[in-house]
Structure 1
Amino acid sequence: MTATLRIGVVEIFKSEYLRTPNATDIASLLRVAESRGFPGMLGSLDSMHWQLDKCPTAYHSIYTGHVEKPTIILKTVASYNLWIWHAFFGMRGSHNDINVLDQSNLFDELRAGCAPPAYFIINGRQYDMGYYLADGIYPKWATIVQTIREPNGRKKAHFARM
């Protein structure tokens, strides 16, 4: 069931949305992110449970997790203009963002040492790989910047609001 749904989603959206950004795309993402106060940001990373309203009864138990209804999980990276340039779709049931991230191929290039180039400077320090904005459940990796849940001070409040 999930494979058919996944194939359908990919066929419909792959040419415009579900493709890896090329060098021009990366440059554009970085340019806009910097103009918005986030130099080096490649996009926002998050997962969601997508409820399967028409899930056959025979599959309910394997697709039901903590949400208590049959779901599949969609993890995406989206840009400022909601271009979904990475999607991992179809894990069933009860998984958190870390489990989903572990199964997806988002960081495969990074692990292989060939991540998209993203050169930027923050506070006088030069960086050579981009990062993703994410919520607090994601691991504390150099490529993931987490939001501030309870910001104190003007700078932290501005960061969390943006």
Structure 2
Amino acid sequence: MAAAMKWNRAGRPGFSPHQKVTIALQMMAYDSPADLIDETHGMFESTCLDTLEQFCDTIVQVYKDEYICEPNQEDLNRLLRKAEDRGFLSMIGSSDYMHWDWKNCPTGWQ
């Protein structure tokens, strides 16, 4: 049985949960700004941003215990091997990359 139709503050039919999830995924996948969603799908920018925030919060709550945790030694070893294979030595503990040679960067960034 389908859920009852919800109405927005303007008295128009609201967006379904499927539409909201699709829009949140589109915003993340294509880096779509909320005002573009407003123009293309008719969802107000504030609703787009609220929907995206709710979607991300839900994903974190569902998966945080399994996937969002501190790495153990096995994880660290795997990440270090992968990084070194790609030329990123000493990646763990140096996420600011201040140990890199920045000779080709503008002096304001060094």
Q: Which category describes the TM-score, using the shorter chain as reference length?
A: 0.3 to 0.5
Which of these two proteins has the greater Rg computed from alpha carbons? 2
Q: Decide which structure has greater helix share.
A: 2
Higher relative contact order (CA 8 A, sep 6+): 1
Q: Decide which structure has greater strand share.
A: 1
TM-score, length of structure 2 as denominator length: 0.35
TM-score, length of structure 1 as denominator length: 0.25
